[in-house]
Amino acid sequence: MSTDFFTSQDNARRQTGRLVMLFVFGVAATMVALWAVIAGAMATQVGARAWADPRIAGGVFVVVGAIVGIATLVKLAQLSQGGSKIAEMLGGVPVDPTTRDPGERQLLNIVEEMSIASGVPVPPVYVLEDQSVNAFAAGPDPSRSVIGVTRGCMELLSRDELQGVIAHEYSHIFHGDTRINARTTAVIAGIMAVGLLGFIMFRHVGPALARSGGRGRKNNGAAVGVAIVLIGLAFWAIGSLGMLFGRLIQAAISRQREFLADAAAVQYTRNPDGIAGALAKIRDHYSGRIENAHASELNHFFFCSSLNTLFATHPPIDERIGRIVAMGAAKVGASEAARPRSGTGAPTGRPAAGGTAGLAGATAAIAQAGTLDAESIARARAFRESLSPDFAEAARDPEGARAICYAVARQPSNPAACESLVRQSDPECLAAYLRVAPAIAALRPDAQLALVDLAAPALGQLGASRYGRFREILAHAVRGDGRIDLREWALVKSLERHVERRFTRGVAPARGSLAQHEAEARMVIAIVAGVTHSGDGVARSFELGLAAIGLRGADMPSASTRTLDALNAATKSLAGIAFTERARLLHACAAAAAHDGEVSIDEFLVVRAVADALDVPVPALAGGPQ
């Protein structure tokens, strides 16, 4: 199993510590420089003792610390609201899931296909009404991320080129780059706050007071204004060092991650000409410049630089294209042959997904946790295109989305009970339910849940209050026969990850280890082992799963304790372990499921539901004929 997603998520959290170190260094340098200027100025009046006066140093450190701290916390609070806040700052407008605009429909189709193929919740899509060619991803985690594109990106690129750009942005979501970008923005805002305050004092406050002075002999407003201008000038000059340092941080963190995201996009789509063609069009024909006041502070979020700046947050486009050509972009490579360009070096990328040799169908899907490949994208596109118009329209409408979930929860042995519940408790979606329920019953379970994944953005439009009411009704449908089966539990876990996490702001901890939760890990592996295996096969499957995480000789939980309630409790406890530890657990689940050489749909459902509970993306479709 590729652990690239898992290690990247843990690294993204550790990156915060490095940012804090850079932040402290930048703030300290600003404090020392400002203290030196003020102490030096006062020394001309009171002598050398000004340099040793602790009140001067203390005052400077307190004032600067307060300014920087407040600015950082305000920006962090603003960005922690989710990717949608960043999209709105840039002037993005959400794309209506029911849109019939051809360009918007194609964009949503590409995003939906990649989400189904990867298991990442379908992100809201925003369009910036700008004719440049650019895109971005933003959000603190995969469940609360959004994707934005400019109107020019949507209209001026071919489908393959647009898919390459979107794959690049998905790489940023997979690997925690969006989280790092948000925190980098907050750090930069704090460091730059002193210079910004100085500019306001120098350019606006001081001159205003100076102009208001002079109307009367005792009015000293002019003198105060001049003093504020001089103080502001000093703050601005010293704060400019903070601005310089902030831009260096922004550039240093962003540049290498752009190379990695380019390489990942090639790996995902197996079409290097797609992303290379998009970059070539930006370089040769169209601009990536974004006309927005926030483009500068958010420049490192974009697919390519949104402005011309000395401290580039993105590598030169020529170098990016050169590396992608080295990966096999034949069409673009032919046109590049005559162009002089800087050295490209060896192509750099994240490791390709591994561990799937000899495995097929559902097992391969499990092994792709946190990544994409061309086969999965093609399978997702075929699934989406095979949907009837009733399904496609229902998945993009809040009433239809609720109807899909009710239909998935419907008990095959008593379908009338679910219809009666919908008729009484949610009559708005009754017509849609009656249209889709019979056809949904004929779908394979993994296809049913893939349809629920497509419906997640429409469910998110309900808002927390209306969605809460819907979940209460759905809970009645799920418990209609007095118990919850595997398919229903997988539905609930899918909704928790793909919809409900959008309504939360906190980021769950990811620090624990499997060693601290050995009993819970044994329970999860035992339940996976017992899904379809029987007799000695259950014990052998359990042993293989334990061996995958280095455990031996542990007693298998009894059949009476291996319930969905126990599974639910175990996964809740395990949701706080580090992502690399989650990788080990899912690898163990895959080993247990594949004990007999194949993975059934039911085994796939339970492993994917465990992955949803652990906030790990696993492809929605198990593979094989639908």
Active site members: 169
The three-state secondary structure class of 594 is: coil
Tokens of 154: 């949507």
- 147: three-class secondary structure by DSSP: strand
Q: Each residue of 480-499: b (16+ CB within 10 Å) or e?
A: beeebebbbbbbbbbbbbbb
Q: Token pair 């009046």 is at which residue?
A: 45
User: Which residues lie closer than 8 Å to 293 by C-beta, 6 or more apart?
Assistant: none
The span from the CA of 249 to the CA of 359, in Å, is: 43
How many whole angstroms separate alpha carbon 491 and alpha carbon 502?
A: 17
Q: Please give the structure tokens belonging to residue 242.
A: 């903070």
Q: For residue 93, give every residue at least 6 positions away whose Cβ sits within 8 Å of its Cβ, in sequence order, or none.
A: 126, 127, 128, 129
Contacts with 459 (C-beta within 8 Å, 6 or more apart), sequence order: 398, 401, 402, 405, 467, 470, 495, 499
CB 473 within 8 A of CB 462: no
Q: Are 300 and 250 in contact (CB under 8 A)?
A: yes
Sheet containing strand 93-94, strands side by side: 93-94, 125-128, 146-150, 135-138
Give the Cα separation of 280 and 284 in Å (integer).
6
Beta strands in 7-145 (DSSP E): 93-94, 125-128, 135-138
Q: What is the DSSP letter of 503?
A: G
Phi then psi for 372, rounded to 5 degrees? -140, 155
Identify the three-state secondary structure at position 427: helix
Confirm if 303 and 135 have CB atoms less than 8 A apart.
Answer: yes
Instruction: Yes or no: say if 164 and 275 are a contact pair by the CB < 8 Å rule.
Output: yes
Give the containing element (helix H, strand E) for 195.
helix 177-200
Q: How far is CA 354 from CA 60, 168, 432, 581, in A?
A: 55, 20, 42, 18
Buried b (16+ CB within 10 A) or exposed e, 293-321: ebbebbbbbbbbbbeeeebbbbbebbbbb
Q: How far apart are the C-alpha atoms of 425 and 478, rounded to whole Å?
A: 14
- Please give the distance of CA 493 from its chain centroid, rounded to a whole number: 19
Burial bucket for residue 152 (CB in 10 Å: 0-12, 13-18, 19+): buried
Residue 575 and residue 625 in contact, taking contact as beta carbons nearer than 8 Å = no
